[in-house]
Amino acid sequence: MSNPFQPSLDFDAAATAAEDGEALIIDVDGYEGPLHVLLALARTQKVDLLKLSVLKLAEQYLAFVHEARRRRFSLAADYLVMAAWLAYLKSRLLLPKPDRPKAEEPPAEEMAARLAFRLAKLEAMRVASEALRTGPQLGREVFVRGDPEAIRVIPSGRIEGDLYALMDAYIGQRRKEASRHYQPAAPQAYPLEDARDRLRRLLPDLERWTPLAGVAPLGSPAAGPSRASYVASTLSASLELIKEGALEARQLEAFADIYLRARKGEARA
């Protein structure tokens, strides 16, 4: 029977290869992690997983890792950690037992049993998941009544919604709240220094009375300082230049346009 879990692995080839010490034909990408590889290898022993020869398994795995590294230099750290642990376990299983075992370490046999137990557990879960997957499923093998229009009896009056829905509803709103926060862009101002320099450069052209609005840069509506900022900074700069005596200004009445003109004699200076 073909193995539903590991289509990329040829068990017989792997078993023979492990025994012969030859290259294993194994694709690391076919596995989720070291435990899944170990399980595939364990199956080659064709015994109850609880009666597994852990020693043999360790050898098979080390051969696997060795080969995988030879073919592809990079190998996930998980695989190497498992290899190191198995090498350690193997050495402890092979060495004669000390008369007094170190207190802090479980006996090697127990470590081996733990590994066998984990493999048996994972295998049981894989078989269970396969049993669930291949069993009759709603909407695939069996169907309930399809007519959506007819009268429907709703089972029990319990309230719908689970904890996940509650969390989802909560986070959804907090996210909206976060994105709702008003973040005005700081207004950009036309620097006074720039206005002053520009006005000084313009002095030769201001022999006649010119409206302030015509002197200030137009600016662009898309980016940069606003028109108001240009006008305000230009006015401030013009007042400074008036104080210096380089410029004169007049306004006929309140709120009327302000006119600027270079002072006679200064225009060419």
| C-alpha–C-alpha distance, residues 236 and 247, integer Å | 12
Write down the least CB distance from residue 52 to another protein, Å: 7
Write down the least CB distance from residue 74 to another protein, Å: 17
Write down the least CB distance from residue 69 to another protein, Å: 19
55 membership: H or E segment, kind and range: helix 54-71
| Identity of the residue, 117 or 209, whose beta carbon is nearer to another protein in the bound complex | 117
| Identity of the residue, 52 or 237, whose beta carbon is nearer to another protein in the bound complex | 52
| Identity of the residue, 114 or 250, whose beta carbon is nearer to another protein in the bound complex | 114
- Residue pair 61/38 in contact (Cβ under 8 Å)? The answer is yes
| C-alpha–C-alpha distance, residues 3 and 51, integer Å | 21
Write down the least CB distance from residue 37 to another protein, Å: 9
- Residue pair 67/23 in contact (Cβ under 8 Å)? The answer is yes
| Identity of the residue, 157 or 265, whose beta carbon is nearer to another protein in the bound complex | 157
| Identity of the residue, 96 or 265, whose beta carbon is nearer to another protein in the bound complex | 96
- Residue pair 68/28 in contact (Cβ under 8 Å)? The answer is yes
Write down the least CB distance from residue 118 to another protein, Å: 7
| Identity of the residue, 163 or 269, whose beta carbon is nearer to another protein in the bound complex | 163
Residue 42, token pair as written in the block: 């364990």
| Identity of the residue, 6 or 234, whose beta carbon is nearer to another protein in the bound complex | 6
Q: To 10 degrees, what angle do helices 77-94 and 54-71 make?
A: 140
Write down the least CB distance from residue 33 to another protein, Å: 4
Residue 140, token pair as written in the block: 């695939």
Write down the least CB distance from residue 112 to another protein, Å: 5
For 112, 242, 266, the CA distances from 203, given in Å and listed in that order, are: 94, 12, 8
| C-alpha–C-alpha distance, residues 234 and 52, integer Å | 90
- Residue pair 236/195 in contact (Cβ under 8 Å)? The answer is yes
Closest CA to 17 of 62, 55, 53: 62
